[in-house]
Each structure stands twice: as C-alpha cells, then as structure tokens.
Chains A and B, each alone.
Chain A
Amino acid sequence: MAKKAALYAVLLAGTVVFIYPFVWMVFATLKPEMEIPTFGLWPSRFTLQHYEQVFAKIPIGRAFVNSIVVAGAITASVLLFSSMVGYALSRLRFPGKNLMFMLILFTMMIPFQLTLIPLYVLMVKLHWTDTYLALIVPGMMSGFGILLFRQFFQTIPQALLDAARVDGLSDLQILFRVIWPLSRPVLITVGILTFMNSWNEVLWPLIVVRKSELMTMPQIVTIFAVGGMAEAQLGIKLAAATLLAVPIVLAYSFFQRYFIESMATSGLKG
C-alpha cells in the first residue's frame, strides 16, 4: 500500500514538472508585469494588457492565417500524393517498383542539413522568396508518408480491389472511393504528423520569408521576441508564446491519443 502511494506520488510529481510550467505561463500572461517573477499563479488583478500589446505590435492574426494556409496545404498535398505513391507501390506491379522503393528509403536517410542551403538558393533563383510557394511547395511530398500508406494498404484484402475492378472502377477511383474510406487510422496518423511538423516549423520560414505579412506564427513570435520588438517585457513575450501554443494544445486535447500514437509510430519507423 505504501509502495502504491509512493508510486502515485512520483507520477504526480512528474505531472507537475511537465504541466505546471504551462499553467504558470498562461497565468503569467494575465498578471501585471511586476508580478510575473513569482512562483504562484494568482495575481492581485487580472489584465489583458499583454495580449492587447501583442495584437497592436505584430500582425499575429495574419500570421495565424498564414500558418493555417501553409500547414493545411502541405498536409492536404502529403495525404493526396503519398497515398497515390503508396497505392502504386503496394497494389500495382510495374517495372522499376523495387528500385523506386529503395530510392525513397535512401532519400529519407539524407540529413536535411545537406540540402538546406542549396534549396534556399533554388528559392532565390525561382524568385520564390517572400511567397507562399517557398513555404509550401518544398514540403508537399513526404517519403515517410509513402512508407506508412504503403504498409497500411498492403493489409487491404485483394478480393475487395478485384471486385471494384470488376465494377469498372479505375485505379484512382479504387484509391479514393474504396481504399481511403478504409484507411482512417493511417490518414489520421500522417495528417497529424504532417500538420504538427509544419505548424511548428520555424527554421525554413526564417530563411525564406522576410516580409512580416507572410510570416508564419512561430516565425513572427520568434522575430518579435528576439528582434527587440517585445522590449524585454516578459508579459508580452509569454502572451505571444501562449497564442502560438493554443491551437496545437486545443488539437492535442481533442486528439491526444492520435497524437501520441502518430509520434510513436514515426519514432519506431523512422
């Protein structure tokens, strides 16, 4: 019994260590600046002044829309094209198939540090810097997505696809009308992973976007905090950080099981 109690005590202490800082952060953004450097949560009075200042100083609403557009477009594209390739690699026979699969696996091993600078140079040459194109197009495909789709599609019974073919469905129709409805788990996994990664991506936007009206949310918060616009005021910085965290935390609270499973899969297969 005492052992059980100790066990729960450690687990609860862990919860405090991982969660309390976030709770503290949210409360800190509602405190007057002078009261932020304290351990407790409750301020003498609540204030929204930090949020008002964030909205007054940076186009964070616009950045939110940019992030949604970029992450949304990338996620839609990865789901569409990776499932097409995954379908071809798992259910069709054609010359060069195995070579293609090996090449995709090999490509996934290449560290991004190798192509980062040349890819930026390509953006300059295409005149894509400071456009949505630079933010979206390079991320539109995912070898990892292909891997997951291929693996899942292999488990779908051949009889089902044969029947669809007898009914005169084309390959695209089979993929989107027969296979997709059966593939919710893998669609959710790839969707969540892709969306979260592009929502949180900050290095690439820092490189290709300089105009504030095109900045994504993590980028504008970074520039705001590092570039001196926040004038070393803690409340404003933390308010900006909180606004950046809210969408992902909301998504996490609804789909928490899927988030954990998706990331665990990506770890195990990566």
Chain B
Amino acid sequence: MTRIKHKNLVAYGLVAPYWIHFSIFMAYPLIFSLILVFHKWDVYTPMQFVGLRNFVRLFQDDLFLQSLLNTLLFLLIHIPLQIVAALLFSVLLNEKIRARGFFRAAYFMPVVISGVVISLLWQQLYSQENGVLNLLLAHIGLPKIPWLISPEWAMPSIAIMATWKNVGLYIVLFLAGLQTIPSYLYEAADIDGASVWQKFRSITLPMLNPTVLLVMILSTIGGFSLFIEPYMLTGGGPMNRTLSAMLYIYKQAFYFNRMGYAATLGFFFALLILSVVLVQRKIIEQEPE
C-alpha cells in the first residue's frame, strides 16, 4: 500500500513542474482573458468594466473585418500555390535520381531561416525601381510589377514570398507520402498502358489525399499567424491591404494600449482559427483512407 503511494508520489513529482508552469502561464492567462474581454485597460490606469462593449465594437470594426479578409486572401493564394509547387517538386524528387539529398536540402533551406531575414531579402527583391525581380522582368522585356506598393499586388506578393519560404517543408511531407504508395499500383497501370498523367491523376493524387489535407491544416494555422512579414515589408499598407489579423491585434495592443479590446480580438480570432481547423480535421476523418 505504501509502496503504491510512494510510486504515485514519484510520478506526480515528475509531472509537477509541467503542471505548475501550465497553471501559471496557460490556465491563468486563459481565465484572465475571460475577464479582460469585459474591460477597458491601458495597462497604466486601473481596469474599467465595460460589459459587452468590446464585442459590440468588434462587430462594427471595419478595419478588423478588412484584416480578416486580408488574411483570407493570403490563405487563398498561399495554400493552392504551396500544394501545387510542393507536389511538383516532390514527384520529381521521387524519381530515380542522383543527389536527391542535395536537392531536398537546398529546397529546405528557406524553411529554417528566420522570417526576418527572408523579409529583408525580399524587400530588396521586390523593390520597385532597383529590385532584382523587376530588373529581371525589364531585362526580358516585360513591364515592371509594383510588388509591394500597389494595393492589388501587395498581399499576393507576400503570399508568394511565404510560399517560397515554406514549400521545402511540404516537399518533404509529400515525399514521405509518396514513398508509402506501393509500386505494384504503378506496375499494374504500366501493363494497362496508362500515361504519366493518368498515373498521376488516378494513383498518385488519390493516395496523397491525406497529405494534401495535412498540408492544408498546417499552412492554414501558419497563415493565421502571419505577422512579421507584413510588419517588416509594408507595415500593413498600402491602404491596409496587407494588414493581417495578427498585425491588427498587435497594433491595437501595443500602439494604442487597448489591452481589453486586443484581448477580445484575440479571443474572437482564436475561436475562428479553432473552428476552421476543426472543420478541416472533420474532413480528414471522413476520408475513407
């Protein structure tokens, strides 16, 4: 009896640091956010109870709506681009080739490098007059593109950059998925005289379905956190067209010291993320595979 009790004590001792940390830095902020959303607070003066006013304001806040739409636009460009590029390179890498490791490592390089570095580099590449990309376009006789300065191009430009940064990770995930496809499927298709495209359409793509959905979830979560890229490249402009939801929350909290309102925005935004991800998960679970 005492031995069992002693064993339990050891186990609780091992997990105790985690749960202490959990209650202070996870549970407490969670509970405190429920208080904060009903208050107005600038950090310096005492909190002021405002009832539901933060929520009323949120639903009338055109700029927040705009930031959500911007984030959505980012996802709508980023995710398909990401999946197509990752599929292309992973299928090529899955062929019998030399130096697969080298190519994989090269494509993966931007994944490990800080978004700050990537943003500074692309700020130059995207620059209107002297940017390398526009120099290249001019060189081959095409008109320059106003990458970051036109309201229409700014968010797509950031989405292209983010795709370039992250695609290496998804190439690796797709490659792992491709290697689980049994080769007899392709052999059978070869006997039937299927073309490369037919094999891709009716074997590769369906078998990769779980990976495609996984990639969608991961890039959705990543896209909802979009912050440092617009913060560095555009500050949210031009005309608030690259103001991501995260950047807007940051500005409300730390430019205007509206802690209560920022917490309300964060609360609402987190619920939105959670429901999108849960819906995506449901779709995965419904897949027969």
Residues of A within 8 A of B (CB): 7-8, 10-11, 14-15, 17-19, 21-22, 24-25, 28, 36-39, 81-82, 84-85, 87-89, 92-95, 97, 100, 107, 109-122, 124, 137-138, 140-141, 146, 170-172, 196, 199-200, 202-203, 206-207, 218, 221-222, 225-226, 234, 237-238, 240-242, 244-245, 248-249, 252, 256-257, 259-260, 263-264, 267-268, 270
Contact = CB atoms under 8 A, between A and B. Distances in A.
Interface size class of B (residues with CB under 8 A): 35 or more
B274 interface: yes
A140 B168 CA distance: 28
A118 B164 CA distance: 33
B250 interface: yes
Contacts of A85: 14-15, 18
Nearest to B254: A207
B114 A200 contact: yes
Interface string B10-52: 1110110110011011101110110010000001000000000
Contacts of A25: 121, 124
Tell me the interface secondary structure of chain A in the complex: helix
Interface stretch (B60-68, B151-159, B227-235): B227-235
A135 to B, nearest CB: 13
B202 interface: no
Nearest to B130: A37
B266 A113 contact: yes
Contacts of B173: 264, 267-268
A18 B107 contact: yes
Nearest to A96: B12
A107 B218 CA distance: 17
5 contacts: A7-B92, A84-B17, A92-B10, A172-B14, A260-B105
A264 B232 contact: no
Interface stretch (B76-84, B131-139, B141-149): B131-139
A39 B121 contact: no
Contacts of B136: 39
Given A81-B17, A121-B32, A244 B254 contact: no
A18 B25 contact: no
A92 B132 CA distance: 59
Contacts of B110: 18, 22
Contacts of A21: 121-122, 125
Interface in B71-128: 89, 92-93, 95, 97, 101, 103-117, 120-125, 127
